[in-house]
Amino acid sequence: MYNLTAAGKQVTDLRLSPDTIVGIFTGAITNWNDPEITQDYGRQLPNIPITPVIRSDGSGATAQFTRWMEHTHKSQWDAYCTGVNNITCGDYTEFYPPSGRMIAQSGSDQVAHYIEAPTGQGSIGYDEYAFALTSSWPVVKVLNPAGYYALPTASNVAVALTAAKIRGVDDSTSPDDPNYLQQNLDGVYTNNDPRSYPISSYSYLIVPRSGVPNMPPPPRFTNDKGAALSQYLDYVLCGGQATGKGGIDSIGYSPIPRGLVRGGLLQVQHIPGNNGNVDPNTLANCPNPTFDSQGNLIILKNAPQPNPCDKQGTPLSCDPNNPSAGGGSGGSGGGSGSGGGSGGGSNGGGSGGGSGSGGKGGAGSGGAGGGSGSGGAGGANGSSGTGGSGACGTTIDPQTGEVVQNDSGGSGGGQVAANVVNVGGRPDNWLLTTLTAVELLAVVALPPFLGGWLRRRRAGSQTGTGGAR
């Protein structure tokens, strides 16, 4: 998410390259009129210092964002971490090393609140896309390897995640390896499909595991509970991934593509009392919207192609409804107000999806026999959105992520997120050997059940003192 005004108008069409995003979050780019930003955006922005907003608590959003930087801009990120901590941050870190003008906030919604507030002018942060979507905030288009600026839409994230790999499922990683079942998103970062959103990730659900010699599951987890859980997870991985009206894309998350569904179903088979009825080898009775009954990846066929105006180097004056005309009325639209408000924070990390430049969020890694698991992960791990709720907010098309009209300010959206759980470094042998990870992108089916409750709770807590946002 970001909060920026130019010539008295809210900036709603910002586009940035990965180089620029990393530069901002390592202190190499400190002003909105920096030539690198001008080159990406296509127009010079005001001479305003940049205030990066990071998480003060351990979070999956930070883990996913920093992993992306480590794997795509290793030398720059390692140098930054060493300069702050006198040591590199490793493959990822759940605690962002602060420096310079960075402002640290605890919880995903506190990051969003800080950026949205009038005092957040010039700020930018990484957060779940769900916050931008439910608050009707536009998001930054991030340059992908194919040379297109992409939004963290459900289809773009799903396309990106077709390149995700699971250690031990898609390679020969042993169950005894600490990295077993952990995600490998390197192919996601380099996916050259023009629709791919490069900072995409997914989350895990940690469940009991059977079949480990001398390490049975806890007595209170009965086979009956396992049967119910496995049937629920069949729904979560298949029918629960539905999109459209009331679907997970309507609240800022993306469906899991075939490879991740299969990996999850393979782990469901290890749940004590498993009574799942979806065969991970055929996926024949799994109504997931990213593939058909024969297992074909229809998401790659059906996901909309990018507009030619999103091609790198295309001027802002390009008319998205008539790209070949080269006309249009450039400039940024949107209202000028900023919402604000405090409100309770959720210590989630997430994905995924995410509003903010770098990663929404998203999930972390998890695994049986070691590793870590994190909730959160808004499908897109860190898109960016502009501030400005209040008297004159903006409305976002849930399918395209574009600003479709100016309207009254939207109310704050809810978010389901969870703290990263590090199991690899704990001495609990049972925990290490009897848990298995079922990867669930962007909390999969949980937001529809819990997200509405959290939004109502947040709205209730704000009524009377601060009023509606």
Question: In the beta sheet, which residues pair with residue 184?
Answer: 165
- Structural domains of the chain, with CATH: 1-139 (3.40.190.10), 153-313 (no CATH)
Sign of CA dihedral 417, 419, 424, 428: negative
Angle among Cα 197, 22, 148 to the nearest 5 degrees reads 30
Q: Let me know: does 96 contact 84? Beta carbons within 8 Å.
A: no
User: Which tokens belong to 47?
Assistant: 């001479």
Q: Quote the pLDDT of residue 325.
A: 64
CA 213 to chain centre: 37
Tens digits of residue pLDDT in 318-366: 998 887 765 444 444 333 333 333 333 333 333 333 333 433 333 333 3
**Dihedral in degrees, nearest 10, Cα atoms 42, 46, 48, 54:** -40
- Predicted TM-score (pTM) of the model is 0.72
Q: 314 CB contacts (<8 Å, ≥6 apart)? A: 42, 308, 323
Strands (E) across 271-318 are located at none
What is the pLDDT at residue 136? 82
**Starting from the edge strand earliest in sequence, which strands make up the sheet with 123-125, in order?**
103-105, 51-55, 123-125
* Sequential pLDDT tens for the chain (469 residues): 899 999 999 999 999 999 999 999 999 999 999 999 999 999 999 999 999 999 999 999 999 999 999 999 999 999 999 999 999 999 999 999 999 999 999 999 999 889 988 999 999 999 889 888 888 877 889 999 999 999 999 999 999 999 999 999 999 999 889 888 999 999 999 999 999 999 999 988 889 988 877 778 888 999 999 999 999 999 999 999 999 999 999 988 999 999 999 999 999 999 999 999 999 999 989 999 999 988 899 999 999 999 999 999 999 999 988 877 654 444 443 333 333 333 333 333 333 333 334 333 333 333 333 333 333 333 444 434 333 333 334 444 433 444 444 443 333 333 333 333 333 343 444 444 444 445 443 333 343 444 444 444 444 443 333 333 3
Give the helix/strand (H/E) hosting 145.
none
pLDDT tens for each residue of 96-155: 999 999 999 999 999 988 998 899 999 999 988 988 888 887 788 999 999 999 999 999
CB under 8 Å, gap of 24 or more: what pairs does 280-285 form? 283/258, 285/238
C-alpha dihedral sign at 287, 229, 375, 398 = positive
Full DSSP string of 175-197: TTSTTTT-EE-HHHHT---TT--
Backbone phi and psi for residue 296, each to the nearest 5 degrees, phi listed first? -75, 140
Each residue of 367-397: b (16+ CB within 10 Å) or e? Answer: bbbbbbbbbbbbbbbbbbbbbbbbeebbbbe
